[in-house]
Amino acid sequence: MQSEASTPVLRIGTRGSPLALAQAHETRARLAVAHGLDEASMEIVVIKTSGDRIQDRSLSEAGGKGLFTKELEEALFSGAIDIAVHSSKDVPTFLPEGLTLIAFLPREDVRDAFLSPVAGSIRELPQGALLGTSSLRRRAMALRVRPDLVVVEFRGNVQTRLAKLENGVAHGTLLALAGLRRLGRAELATSILDLDDFLPAVGQGAVAVEGRADDVRVRELLAAINDPATETALVAERAFLTRLDGSCRTPIGGLATLSGDALLFRGIVLSPDGRQSEATRMTAPLADAARIGTTAADELIGRGGKTFFATG
Ligand SMILES: NCc1[nH]cc(CCC(=O)O)c1CC(=O)O
């Protein structure tokens, strides 16, 4: 496969979707600039994951998180790749022993976008309109403001979902603005959802690079492109998700933002039908990133959010 005579400086593993490829290319471009490397010295290795293969049922039914990372992690262990580039949102809270997140790219816009050929916003959709989404969080948040909407399953990558919308499978859909931006399709957003009533998924908009914990050479290479602000926000958000022990069947939103040397954390858990929710908002010094996520989760659990975690 490799035509160059020399071995690559770095093998970059990624899924094959256009969004995943855009993120892998962005990682490579940033590394090239940071280290004065030729991009051709870093090979992009495309790996198909279970999440890409399963198209016939929702991912939460198929086992949820880890489906987009497992095969990439196997390739990290075998040495077939040196780093795996992921959407942070798709990275489970617990990584296999020996692997770790070694860098985060600067975060894109964290908000969700509403896309529709018939309405300017969720509130303007006709009574009983079809909303396409497979995300339990988006479903619950949309039903909270519009309980009359009928949610239809919208699996597949961003392009597939855009095609479904175009073919009239639903009257509207919700996608991460970050993904549209990275694909150069941000103009497709009909409107952008307000953070106050539509909190993103933990990690949304951030690209995470996973590597082997003991690979000092690669960790040093990646340190040059790490964005500390994004890393701090992700520490808080992932601590929140870990404490909630959120299975992929629980609608959860969480967002940490930095302002000066303070961290603002917002979190929400909802019942699947959006009728009940518990939300919190708190600030802490940057150094307390992990603690603020855990504290926010404990507060939601204490306030009865626990009833939302019942399985089934
Ligand atoms: N689960 C799919 C997924 N993973 C990351 C993104 C968007 C990019 C991001 O959040 O960084 C998407 C698509 C979407 O939710 O619209």
The interface predicted TM-score (ipTM) is 0.95
Ligand 1, pocket-test mutation among 14, 87, 202, most atoms within 8 A of CB: 87
- Comparing CA positions, the residue from 23, 75, 19 lying closest to residue 47 is 75
Distance of CA 4 from the midpoint of ligand 1 (Å): 34
Instruction: Mark whether 194 is an active-site residue.
Output: no
Q: Which atom of ligand 1 is nearest to the CA of 206?
A: 11
Which pLDDT tens digits describe the chain residue by residue (312 residues)? 545 557 889 999 999 999 999 999 999 999 999 999 999 999 999 999 888 877 666 666 666 668 889 999 999 999 999 999 999 999 999 999 999 999 999 999 999 999 999 999 999 999 999 999 999 999 999 999 999 999 999 988 899 999 999 999 999 999 999 999 999 999 999 999 999 889 999 999 999 999 999 999 999 999 999 999 999 999 999 999 999 975 557 899 999 999 989 999 999 999 999 999 999 999 999 999 999 999 999 999 988 766 666 543
Sequence length of the chain is 312
pLDDT for the residue numbered 215: 98
Distance of CA 112 from the midpoint of ligand 1 (Å): 10
Ligand 1, pocket-test mutation among 52, 85, 89, most atoms within 8 A of CB: 89
Tens of pLDDT, residues 94-111: 999 999 999 999 999 999
pLDDT for the residue numbered 312: 38
Distance of CA 196 from the midpoint of ligand 1 (Å): 20
Whose Cα sits closest to atom 7 in ligand 1?
A: 179
Distance of CA 71 from the midpoint of ligand 1 (Å): 18
Q: Return all residues near 168 (Cβ < 8 A) that are at least 6 apart.
A: none
Q: Active site residue: 82, 90, 112, 215, which one? A: 90
Distance of CA 302 from the midpoint of ligand 1 (Å): 30
**Cβ–Cβ under 8 Å, residues 122 and 147:** no
- 3-state SS, 239-283, equals HHHHHHCCCCCCCEEEEEEEECCEEEEEEEEECCCCCCEEEEEEE
Whose Cα sits closest to atom 1 in ligand 1?
A: 90
Q: Output the ligand 1 site: residues, CB below 6 A.
A: 87, 89-90, 158, 175-176, 178-179, 204-205
Tens of pLDDT, residues 148-204: 999 999 988 899 999 999 999 999 999 999 999 999 999 999 999 999 889 999 999
Cα–Cα distance for residue pair 308/286, rounded to 1 Å: 30
Q: What separation in angstroms does the CA of 173 have from each of 42, 50, 106?
A: 36, 24, 26
pLDDT for the residue numbered 65: 65
pLDDT for the residue numbered 248: 56
Tens of pLDDT, residues 42-59: 999 999 988 887 766 666
Q: Which atom of ligand 1 is nearest to the CA of 174?
A: 16
- pTM score, two decimals? 0.92
Q: Return all residues near 5 (Cβ < 8 A) that are at least 6 apart.
A: none
Domains and CATH numbers, the chain: 1-105+207-226 (3.40.190.10), 112-192 (3.40.190.10), 227-312 (3.30.160.40)
